[in-house]
């Protein structure tokens, strides 16, 4: 079973030129899909389409498993809520199953507190790196509860210090062994090199995404 399937997708922002035309692609179980390309090529737009934040102008996108989306601008956090309440809010925004929510949130909160013991209850005091780590912690914990899962990541790792980034990368890669898939927009694809990695090079108004085989680069011009 494919986790996400997109067929003949067209997308444009209102009256702007098309970003994608007749785009077809899918996300397979236990894979790391890397999206590279120039700035404004459409990497973030593709992630938002695949995870359901944006709707295609034409075509269809089917999501057969739960998804978590981590955007580089920190969408989902509310500075007026406590850290624990923000985790609950993010869990709800990702539309994850209500069963297990409390346990998942508490485990993510505990894991984050062990890494950042100095953190304050008010999330308004968090740095960009802490916000990134908090969202990743919740996504990783949720994937352990529900292995058939896709985590979409849009450049959020750039906010982490090098040593924390490396540790997080190892944990994310380990999730793919249980069947979880990662879709990552990044300018540093070498950080995610693995045998189950698939590279999509994104360009505007591309017609199709064709994956020949795992661990093989594909220019999508």
Helix (H, G, I), strand (E, B) or coil at 199: strand
State the pLDDT at residue 212: 31
Give kind and range of the element (H or E) at residue 197: strand 197-201
Which has the minimum average pLDDT: 52-56, 91-95, 216-220? Answer: 216-220
Whose structure tokens read 């249980």? 178
pLDDT at 114 over 80: yes
**CB hemisphere CA count around 199 (13 angstroms):** 18
Q: What is the pLDDT of residues 127-176, one digit of tens each?
A: 888 888 888 999 999 999 999 999 999 887 877 888 888 888 889 989 99
* C-alpha distances out from residue 170 to 113, 117, 132, 174, Å: 19, 21, 16, 6
Superfamily holding 4-219: P-loop containing nucleotide triphosphate hydrolases (3.40.50.300)
Q: What is the pLDDT of residues 3-36, one digit of tens each?
A: 999 999 999 998 888 888 888 999 999 999 998 8
Whose structure tokens read 């692609």? 25
pLDDT over 90, % of the chain: 39
Domain ranges within the chain, ordered by starting residue: 4-219
pTM metric for this prediction: 0.86
Between 111 and 193, whose confidence is greater?
111
Mean pLDDT, rounded, for 182-196 = 77
pLDDT at 195 over 80: no
pLDDT band with cut points at 50, 70 and 90 for residue 213: very low
* Separation of alpha carbons 17 and 197, rounded Å: 31
pLDDT band with cut points at 50, 70 and 90 for residue 120: confident
* Separation of alpha carbons 88 and 105, rounded Å: 6
């Amino acid at each position: 079973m494919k986790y996400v399937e997109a067929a003949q997708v067209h997308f444009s922002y209102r009256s702007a030129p098309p970003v994608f035309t007749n785009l077809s692609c899918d996300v397979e179980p236990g894979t790391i899909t890397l999206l590279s390309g120039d700035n404004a090529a459409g990497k973030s737009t593709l992630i938002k389409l695949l995870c359901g934040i944006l709707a295609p102008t034409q075509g269809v996108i089917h999501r057969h498993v739960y998804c978590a989306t981590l955007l580089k601008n920190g969408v989902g956090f509310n500075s007026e809520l406590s850290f624990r309440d923000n985790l609950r809010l993010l869990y709800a925004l990702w539309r994850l199953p209500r069963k297990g929510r409390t346990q998942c949130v508490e485990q993510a909160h505990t894991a984050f507190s062990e890494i950042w013991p100095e953190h304050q209850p008010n999330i308004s005091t968090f740095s960009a790196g802490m916000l990134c780590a908090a969202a990743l912690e919740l996504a990783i914990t949720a994937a352990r509860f529900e292995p058939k899962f896709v985590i979409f990541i849009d450049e959020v790792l750039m906010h982490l210090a090098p040593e924390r980034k490396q540790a997080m990368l190892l944990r994310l890669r380990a999730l793919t062994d249980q069947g979880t898939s990662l879709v990552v927009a990044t300018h540093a694809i070498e950080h995610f090199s693995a045998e189950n990695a698939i590279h999509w090079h994104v360009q505007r108004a591309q017609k199709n995404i064709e994956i020949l085989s795992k661990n093989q680069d594909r220019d999508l011009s």
